[in-house]
Amino acid sequence: MGEVVKRTFKYRFYPTPEQANQLNQTFGCVRWVYNRALEERSRRWKTEGKSTTYAESSAALTQWKKAEDLAFLNEVSSVPLQQSVRHLHSAFSAFFTKRSGYPRFKSKHKARASAEYTRSAFTWREGSLTLAKITGPLKIVWCRRIPVAARPSSVIVSRDRAERWFVSVRIDDPTIHPPRDTDRTVGVDVGITSLVTLSTGETIPNPRHERRDRRKLARAQQDHSRKQKGSTNRAKARTKVARIHGRITDRRRDHLHKLTTRLVRENQAVVIEDLNIRNMLRNRSLARAIADAGWARLRSMLEYKARWYGRRLIVVDRWLPSSKQCSACGVTLTSLPLSTRFWTCQCGATHDRDVNAAINILAAGLAERQNACGEPVRPKPPARQRHGSAKQEN
Is 274 part of the annotated catalytic residue set?
no
The active-site residue out of 189, 210, 292, 368 is 189
- The whole-angstrom separation of Cα 27 and Cα 72 is 12
The residue count of the chain comes to: 394
Strands 165-173 and 122-125 turn out to be unpaired
- The count of other CB atoms within 10 Å of the CB of residue 57 is 22
CA trace torsion 56, 60, 62, 67 (10° rounding): 170
Helix, strand, coil percentages in the chain from 3-state DSSP, rounded to 5: 45, 20, 40
- CB burial class (10 A; 0-12, 13-18, 19+) of residue 288? middle
Yes or no: say if 167 and 324 are a contact pair by the CB < 8 Å rule: no
Cα separation of 58 and 51, whole Å?
A: 14
Q: How far apart are CA 331 and CA 12, in angstroms?
A: 54
Which residues, including other chains, have CB under 8 Å from residue 13's CB and lie 6 or more apart?
138, 139, 140, 141, 165, 166, 167
**Euclidean distance between CA atoms 326 and 317, whole angstroms:** 17
Catalytic residue among 210, 292, 354, 368: 354
**Annotation marks residue 273 as catalytic:** yes
Active site residue 368: no
- Distant-in-sequence, close-in-space partners of 149: CB < 8 Å, separation ≥ 6: 174, 175
Q: What is the CB neighbour count within 10 angstroms for residue 353? A: 21
* Annotated catalytic residue, options 210, 273, 292, 368: 273
Q: Residues with catalytic annotation?
A: 189, 273, 354
